Structure 1
Amino acid sequence: MLAYAVPQSVLLILVGSSYALATMGMKLVSGIQFAWGGAALILAGLALAATGEIALLKNNSMSQLYLILVGVETALVLVCALFMGEKFTPRMILGGGLIISGMIAVAH
Structure 2
Amino acid sequence: MASSTYRRPTQRRSFAAAYAPYAKRATPTAQTLAQRSLLSGETISNILRFADIEEDLGGGRVLNKLSADRLQDAEVRAVFGPDLARAAKVSVVWDEREGQIARVYDGQMAA
Same fold (TM over 0.5): no
Structure possessing the higher radius of gyration over alpha carbons: 2
Hey, which of these two has a bigger chunk of strand by percent?
Answer: 2
TM-score, length-scaled by structure 2: 0.27
Q: Which has the higher contact order (CA 8 A, sep 6+)?
A: 1
TM-score (normalizing by structure 1): 0.27
Which has a greater percent of helix? 1
